Chain A
């Protein structure tokens, strides 16, 4: 074994339980993405025409919001990881500020998505309108639920930083929650071009 590989961790960061959840989510969303791509082949014209009804700018703003929110979460995690032993309060406070920003951007995503959904539903579109909108509503609706759950997780982590609950030795909770939030982020990174742009 090389010296480099001995420096690396054997298991992914955080609680392994969250990684099991992440793997299950990858399979679920992966099947949805592939299902969308192959269903499109059966009716390319209809998919392309329906896609024009989506507001690309809304999807673009939401991508920026999630990517930036993810960055804020990493900053919170690194604040805790790099905390000197005698400055626990200061570095937990620092992490809580980053988490607050991350939650605000996550909330921005949810609000923007609610506006997008209300426009779509206002146009009389439902799951049974056509296959494109069935996939669009299922994929983005399912993802919306994950952002909602991720926001609850971030709020719990935030609460713990407010009572200076994380130490250099014990911060698995924040790392696990962050991993879930990043998963929500990268699923959207695939979803955005697939559903909003590729035609």
Chain B
């Protein structure tokens, strides 16, 4: 696709606007946080694949940053969704 970089940029901007609008909601519920984390994952993966050209790389060097991203986003989700134990 000839205009792939422009499409990637438009998606990145669009998802950033979406995140900003979510930030203006007074109450962000768990569902919105899940969407926010998912869109963050997509944005970083797009930068890795198309801006950093890792889609043209094979093997472990293709996946190291993606594995990092998966671990970080998953642990943020765990920290958010895991019930907070009460001492009372």
Closest residue on chain A to residue B67 by CB atoms: A26
Measured CB to CB, the closest approach of chain B to A23, in angstroms, equals 7
Find out whether the CB atom of A197 lies under 8 angstroms from the CB atom of B79. no
Measured CB to CB, the closest approach of chain B to A56, in angstroms, equals 5
Find out whether the CB atom of A190 lies under 8 angstroms from the CB atom of B16. no
Once the chains are docked, how many angstroms separate the CA of A199 from the CA of B33?
Answer: 8
Q: Per-position contact with A for B16-48: 1 when CB-CB < 8 Å, else 0? A: 110110111000100001001100100110011
Interface residues on A, range: 35 or more
**Majority secondary structure of chain B interface residues (helix, strand, loop or mixed):** helix
Q: Per-position contact with B for A180-199: 1 when CB-CB < 8 Å, else 0? A: 00110110011011101111
Give the residues in chain B near A159, CB-CB below 8 Å: none
Contact of B47 among A37, A60, A64, A182 (CB under 8 A): A182
Closest residue on chain A to residue B75 by CB atoms: A34
| Contact surface of A with B, Cβ cutoff 8 Å | 5, 8-13, 19, 22-23, 26-27, 30, 33-34, 37-38, 40-41, 44, 56-57, 60, 63-64, 67-68, 70-71, 73-75, 78, 178-179, 182-183, 185-186, 189-190, 192-194, 196-199
| Interface CB pairs A-B, < 8 A, 17 | A10-B58, A13-B53, A23-B64, A37-B80, A60-B23, A63-B20, A71-B12, A178-B51, A178-B52, A179-B52, A182-B52, A183-B52, A190-B72, A193-B37, A197-B22, A197-B28, A198-B36
